[in-house]
Amino acid sequence: MRIYNTMTGTKEEFVPLKKDCVGMYVCGPTVYNYIHIGNARSFVVFDMVRRYFEYRGYDVTFVQNFTDIDDKIIRKANEEGASVFEVSERYIGEYFKDADALGIERATVYPRATRVMEDIISFISDLVGKGYAYGTQDGVYFSVEKFKDYGKLSKKNTDDLISGARVDVNEQKKNPLDFALWKLAKPGEPYWESPWGQGRPGWHIECSVMSSKYLGNPFDIHGGGPDLVFPHHENEIAQSEAKSGVRFVNYWMHAGYLNIDNQKMSKSLGNFFTVREILDRYDPMTVRFFMLSAHYRNPINFSFELLDQAQVGLDRIKNCVFRLRELKGRAGECAGDKEVLQYAEEQRQNFISSMDDDFNTAEAISHIFNMVSFANTRIDDGSGQAAIDCAADAVTELMGVLGISLDIKKELLDEEIERQIEERQQARRRKDYAAADNIRDELKAKGIILEDTPQGVRWKRR
RNA sequence: GGCGACGUACCCAAGUGGCUAAGGGAGAGGUCUGCAAAACCUUUAUGCCCCGGUUCAAAUCCGGGCGUCGCCUCCA
């Protein structure tokens, strides 16, 4: 497998630290609000990565944190007159609702900043002891100039950053780029005891602490959104490597942005949709399919039109599997067809080689569509039972690797609808097509699509 | 200003040195059907932002433009 590593800017052959095992850490949400659809993209992307590793036989340890203490959470809690704990707890719950809907598998562990406070404090103590950190009147800071490799991930050099001069004013800091490891609490703010006084951890430190706690140093893969490259991941590297003296992470992976009107979706611009809003209007699997229809590192533009396109594409795949499953019962009438079997295996291999090449889901999906087309052409000519199963299984399996369930389970219609379908069939038999079409329209209004096939009436929900 | 990414058909989107440039959507024509839907067949880029260059050979490499976007500040 080849993976694009942000650190080196090239695709590299993936060599795990431990044979057949992968340790990956993905930066999770700061829980003060619902996640938006842009946040969701990177979670979907890394879920796809994780699923693919598992498909290829790796044992994956997947760690994703919750940032459950931070300025924004404090602000939100104050606004609502709630405690920080209540706010974070609530939005962790909401996160799981969205993530579950999108088919994102649960992580192996979900560490939270507030639950690893002792580890954080001892980590910072180490840094202070080694001379990488210093205290000020408002906290403890990491001294960037002590870490000579600072900027190696984001390809920035400290001189340019300083002259860029968009850093906040804080006379206490020795260098404008220095960042907080520990923030002392202002009156009324929640706090934890520490050798430097009552306070809370800075944002970057938790990820260094939690990743090393569960995965050690170095570990295989660290992922996150593209806007985390600088400064968050850069700072993680500085802290972790300063402390441990060894490489922090072997492969850095970053997803592309999900844009809207070709611009980054962001809360300050107000141009974002929450996952919740979108899921009111679209099947979550459609959203997931849309997100995976482009390569994970490329930016994708979000629009309802594109979502509609994705939905039609996904329906094509679902229809095919549906038809194949339907044929199962009539297998005896079909002639054998080894070709389908072979074709399915061929496309499966193509899928794998696309995915092996830095998780090229766009190309991988094209092989699924090829499989669908091939199967569709054979449905009418007739294929053997094994071949039909094989085709349906292959499509279902590969979509499953992408985390997209086809959900073609048979559900029962209520009696009223059942009766209407029968009524329409009678109308058709007596060639009363006006009445038949009427009923079809009525059902359509209820979300039931009818299709007349040589095997009888088929229905599906829209 | 510094650093970086991207620009492929009407739309989305792979391909990054060499068979006739994947795949999906949309459109057009056809098969099937009472009609519709689904499905199938045919069709839609002699060309991959522009201009140079390297090469037997470039969408793919190099140089220069133009355009779009991002990071440099909390942000997935």
Please state the separation of Cα A149 from the chain's center in Å.
30
Which run of H or of E encompasses A356?
helix A338-356
How far, in Å, CA of A59 to CA of A304, rounded? 37
Residue A238 and residue A153 in contact, taking contact as beta carbons nearer than 8 Å: no
Question: Which nucleotide has the least CA–C1' distance to A319?
Answer: B38
Which run of H or of E encompasses A12? strand A10-13
| pLDDT reported for residue A261 | 87
CA/C1' separation A310–B30 (Å): 27
**Residue–nucleotide distance: A241 CA to B20 C1' (Å):** 54
Count the neighbouring beta carbons within 10 Å of the beta carbon of residue A18: 13
With beta carbons less than 8 A apart as the criterion, state whether A265 and A278 touch. no
Residues 6+ apart with CB under 8 A from A416: none
Neighbouring C-alpha atoms within 13 Å toward the C-beta of A74? 12
- The residue ranges of chain A whose pLDDT is under 70 are 163-171, 328-337, 382-384, 408-412
Peptide bond into A231 cis (omega under 30): yes
A429 strand B contact, CB < 7 Å: no
Instruction: Find the Å distance, CA of residue A88 to C1' of nucleotide B11.
Output: 41
Ramachandran category for residue A20: left, alpha or beta (phi over 0 → left; psi -120 to 50 → alpha): left
Phi/psi for A261 (5° steps) reads: 50, 40
Q: Kind of pairing, strands A300-302 and A263-264?
A: unpaired
pLDDT for A431 equals: 92
CB of A408 within 7 Å of some strand B atom: no
Show the tokens assigned to A168.
Answer: 């906040």
Question: Which residue, among A383, A379, A302, A403, has the nearest Cα to A339 in the 3D structure?
Answer: A383
pLDDT value at position A455?
Answer: 76
- pLDDT for A459 equals 85
In angstroms, the CA of A443 and the C1' of B24 are apart by 29
In the 154-183 segment of chain A, residues within 7 Å (Cβ) of strand B are 154-156, 160-161, 164, 166-168, 179
